[in-house]
């Protein structure tokens, strides 16, 4: 059974970097937990977190709720950026 925290991390509306999380985990599993083999995955994850954290902080400053856009909203934001 998953904890409430673990469930939240698996929720696309809460965790904008689920794909990057999964790709990093898979890389680590496939490479016997050798971090050096997965540098690109860690970087993509870090960039994803940084990007959505910035969006979240901007929305917080502007009083927009919820602070983290839903999965559908995020898709539109990314599409609008090209």
Q: What integer pLDDT is reported at residue 9 of this predicted model? A: 76
Mean pLDDT of 35-60: 97
Question: The tokens of 77 are what?
Answer: 């934001």
Question: In the chain, pLDDT over 70 holds for what percent of residues?
Answer: 100
Mean pLDDT of 13-39: 95
pTM of the model: 0.83
Q: What integer pLDDT is reported at residue 68 of this predicted model? A: 93
Mean pLDDT of 34-42: 97
CB neighbour list of residue 68: distance below 8 Å, 6 or more residues apart: 13, 14, 16, 52, 55, 56, 59
């Amino acid at each position: 059974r998953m904890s409430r925290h673990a469930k939240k991390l698996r929720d696309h509306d809460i965790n904008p970097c689920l794909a990057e999380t999964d790709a990093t985990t898979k890389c680590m599993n496939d490479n016997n937990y050798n971090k050096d083999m997965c540098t690109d995955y860690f970087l993509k994850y870090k960039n994803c977190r940084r990007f959505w954290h910035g969006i979240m902080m901007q929305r917080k400053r502007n009083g927009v709720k919820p602070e983290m856009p839903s999965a559908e909203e995020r898709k539109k934001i990314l599409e609008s950026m090209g």
